[in-house]
Amino acid sequence: MADDFPPGTVWLVGAGPGDPELLSRKAERLLAAAEIVFYDALVGEEILALAPKAQLVSVGKRSGRHSKDQSTIDGLIVAAASLGRRVVRLKGGDPSVFGRVAEELTACAEHGIPVRICPGITAASAAAASGLASLTLRGAARQLTFLTAHAKAGEALVHDWDALARAKGTLAIYMGRAAAPSIARELIAAGRDPATPVMVAVNVSLPTERVLRGRLDALSFLVRTIGQDDPTVLLIGEAVGARGSVTEDRMIALAAIPSSPAHR
């Protein structure tokens, strides 16, 4: 057993986007050593199978339906580590991207529990890879912004749309399927070119993966066929349109775009 996982330690581990081969070797080693694993809904069985010695505890969240609230999860992690167990808190993608890591770090610190982070491949990176695209583009996309489209229940989605529309760069929008129509509306109203390329990546790296392409003013059509439990990341910007070839998916996506002026 490596020295970095003594009893009573918590590792916040990134599971990547779903494909077990996209897990880091370090994550695999930590899972093999774990005695208890608290995992999110997006973590699949093949990855959980890498923790054969561990008690597996689902603390999953899906489409805003929380099976355990964050303070309960914090309490479970702290309690398990306080009992001297080797704890893995396994999160989809990278733990530090919309992963509630700050709360878990704070809870551990408050109880004197040693805690470390093992990074993972975040959904935006995996989506770009699947779509054979770049997230940045020399001269055209000098910045990359990660955004969440998840708003608290009953609250509007608040972002500085003017700044986002002005920025020469790529927007990687997590949890954005439901809000896609309003995201497109806000960006276009704030001055972003309606023809800006978009890529919609669903279930990235899994056998059910789909990558759809189109333009910003057709984003609401692109997301129509996506189920509410299918994790989806939206990539918006010139960089994701810069490709050498047109895939079958792209042709399907383009065919789905109505030609009426309202949607041009």
Ligand X SMILES: C[S@@+](CC[C@H](N)C(=O)[O-])C[C@H]1O[C@@H](n2cnc3c(N)ncnc32)[C@H](O)[C@@H]1O
- Residue 163 CA to residue 181 CA, distance in Å, equals 19
Cα 264 to the center of its chain, rounded Å: 29
Is residue 130 part of the contact set for ligand X (CB under 6 A)?
no
Angle between helix 70-82 and 101-110 (nearest 10): 40
SS3 label, residue 254: helix
Is residue 174 part of the contact set for ligand X (CB under 6 A)?
yes
Select from 5, 11, 98, 221 the one that contacts ligand X (CB under 6 A). Answer: 98
Longest dimension (CA), the chain: 64
- Residue 264 CA to residue 195 CA, distance in Å, equals 8
> For the window 184-213, what string marks contact with ligand X as x by the rule CB under 6 A?
-----------------xxxxx--------
SS3 label, residue 211: strand
Closest CA to 17 of 87, 99, 77, 74: 99
Paired with 62 in beta bridges are 65
Closest CA to 89 of 27, 18, 20: 27
* 61: annotated active-site residue: yes
| DSSP secondary structure letter of residue 207 | T
- Residue 121 CA to residue 191 CA, distance in Å, equals 32
Which residues inside 211-240 make contact with ligand X, applying CB under 6 A? 231-233
Select the span of 51-59, 72-80, 88-96, 187-195 touching ligand X (CB under 6 A).
88-96
Residue closer to ligand X, measured from CB, 11 or 174:
174
Residue closer to ligand X, measured from CB, 113 or 179:
179
Is residue 18 part of the contact set for ligand X (CB under 6 A)?
yes
Select from 38, 54, 59, 122 the one that contacts ligand X (CB under 6 A). Answer: 122
Which residues inside 131-170 make contact with ligand X, applying CB under 6 A? none
Is residue 180 part of the contact set for ligand X (CB under 6 A)?
no
* 160: annotated active-site residue: no
Residue closer to ligand X, measured from CB, 209 or 217:
209
SS3 label, residue 10: strand
Residue closer to ligand X, measured from CB, 82 or 208:
208
Pairing of strands 143-148, 115-118: unpaired
Take residue 8 and report the two structure tokens written for it: 């009573």
Which of 19, 40, 74, 217 is the catalytic position? 40
> Closest approach of Cβ 205 to ligand X, in Å?
6
Take residue 170 and report the two structure tokens written for it: 């790529």
Which of 4, 26, 61, 230 is the catalytic position? 61
Do residues 149 and 176 make contact, with C-beta atoms less than 8 angstroms apart?
yes
> For the window 30-59, what string marks contact with ligand X as x by the rule CB under 6 A?
------------x-----------------
Residue closer to ligand X, measured from CB, 198 or 202:
202
> Closest approach of Cβ 194 to ligand X, in Å?
23
Take residue 95 and report the two structure tokens written for it: 């733990």
- Cite the active site residues: 40, 61
Binding site for ligand X (CB under 6 A): 17-18, 42, 91-94, 97-99, 122-123, 174-175, 201-205, 231-233
